[in-house]
Amino acid sequence: MQALVLEDSTVAVRDVPVPEPGAGEALVRVQMAGVCNTDVEIARGYMGFSGVLGHELYGVVEACEDNPALVGKRVAGEINQACAACPMCERGLGRHCPARTVMGILHKDGCFAEHVTLQQACLHPLPEALEDARACFVEPTAAAFEVLEQVPVSDRDRIAVLGDGKLGLLIGQVLATTGATPTLVGRHERKLSLARAQGARTAALDALDDNTFDVVIEATGSPAGMEAAIRLTRPRGTLVLKSTYHGPLELDAAPLVIDELTVVGSRCGPFEPALRALATGAVDPDAMVDAIYPLAQAAEALERAQQPGVLKVLLDMR
Ligand SMILES: [Zn+2]
Ligand SMILES: [Zn+2]
């Protein structure tokens, strides 16, 4: 099969063997996949990964020994495969299992390929109403919902989302499902107008006063966002970190101490609310799709995703 492979810091579409499902795994024929900033950072060296890239997909189950009822079903796939036996897994924290593999990120080939294998516990059948192109957004929308799992927000809270990229826009929409009106902070008029069309307030960073937000979500995807996020958060407020990037962050931690900020790291999230919100249109990412490439041009798709102003780039394997 064809797959986009990262090896020795270069990415290229190659012919590789179709993966063999391991114990408890299903074989999934990938239908569409989304390019994420994390893929770009991984190609730059984040996580030290090599193998098939990609972790946002929907597909059709081709084989599943443990659950044959899944065969033929359209599914989205969770990316963390846990051991199901360690203390973290016993606490229901499989996404933090120390023995986990993570599709396209850690010791597990990803979905920029014709086929991928995934534990059947990671598969979520798609609601009928969930359209194909939208189904690629289940994984990043779940990551946006993780903020609500970690930080209760109400419509009285002043909430800022720093970063008008794909993840920032999704987080803004997910926060709006609670009745809150988040302020999306960014620099790109086209992206900010998408957020406004979906009911968010928008602002440039310079226009905002220091220490004014109860909750600030840092989703800029770059180290510079952290300083701005600290500056905007009110004393005793909550700062949620969503960005993943290659390389260290230099930080003056004094304001965290003086203002007694709560800092929350946030990564992958629950699939069920994401599936519901995408199926009903409560979260509507359609306007974020900028380009769709065939798998054979996956390397070009990864390039395109890095160009300024570009939002979502999808791969179509159908
Ligand atoms: Zn992602
Ligand atoms: Zn475990």
β strands within 36-94, DSSP E: 51-52, 56-64, 74-77, 80-81
Q: How many Å apart are CA 103 and CA 146, to the nearest integer?
A: 18
State the DSSP H helix or E strand holding residue 216, giving kind and residue range, or none if neither: strand 213-218
Residue 306 has pLDDT above 80, yes or no: yes
**What pLDDT digit, counting tens, does each position of 48-102 carry?**
999 999 999 999 999 999 999 999 999 999 999 999 999 999 999 999 999 999 9
The Cα-based distances of 245 to 89, 221, 240, 317 in angstroms read 27, 6, 15, 28
Give how far Cα 151 sits from Cα of 166, 178, 216, 252, Å.
Answer: 21, 12, 11, 24
Distance 49 CA to ligand 2 centre (A): 21
Q: pLDDT of 198-251, one tens digit each?
A: 889 999 999 999 999 999 999 998 888 999 999 999 999 999 999 887 778 888
CA of 46 to the centre of ligand 1 (A): 13
CA dihedral 18, 114, 105, 166 (to 10 degrees): 180
Run of H or E residues at 13: strand 10-15
Domains of the chain (ranges; CATH) run 2-137+285-316 (3.90.180.10), 141-265 (3.40.50.720)
C-alpha 119 to ligand 2 mean position (Å): 13
How many Å lie between the centroid of ligand 1 and the Cα of residue 297?
19
Q: Mean pLDDT of all residues in the chain?
A: 95
Do 26 and 123 contact (CB within 8 A), yes or no? yes
Per-residue confidence band for 47, with pLDDT thresholds at 50, 70 and 90: confident
pLDDT band at 29 (very low <50, low <70, confident <90, very high): very high
Cα maximum dimension of the chain: 57
166 CA distance to ligand 1 middle (Å): 10
Cα 94 to middle of ligand 2, angstroms: 6
Report pLDDT for 78. 96
Residue 199, pLDDT score: 86
Neighbours of ion ligand 1 (CB under 5 A): 36, 38
Residue 79 vs residues 23, 55, 66, 253: alpha-carbon distances, Å: 17, 6, 19, 32
What is the number of the ligand closest to the CA of 99? 2
Calculate how far, in angstroms, residue 21's C-alpha sits from the geometric centre of ligand 1: 23
Q: 15 vs 47, which has greater pLDDT? A: 15
142 alpha carbon to ligand 2 midpoint, in Å? 21
Q: Give the number of whichever ligand sits closest to the CA of residue 41.
A: 1
> Residue 246: its pLDDT value, please?
75
pLDDT at 91: 96
Output the CA 271–ligand 2 centroid distance in Å: 19
**Parallel, antiparallel or unpaired: strands 262-265 and 233-241:** parallel
- Bridge partner list, 59: 30, 75
Ligand nearest to C-alpha 86: 2
CA 59 / ligand 1 centre spacing (Å): 16
Whole-number pLDDT of residue 70: 96
Q: Distance, CA 44 to ligand 1 centroid (Å)?
A: 15
3-state secondary structure at position 272: helix
Residue 14: is its pLDDT beyond 90? yes
Pick 147 or 46 by higher pLDDT: 147
Taking the centre of ligand 1 as the mean of its atom positions, its distance from the CA of residue 258, in whole angstroms, is 34
Q: pLDDT tens across 216-226, in order?
A: 999 998 888 99
Question: What type of residue sits at position 171?
Answer: I
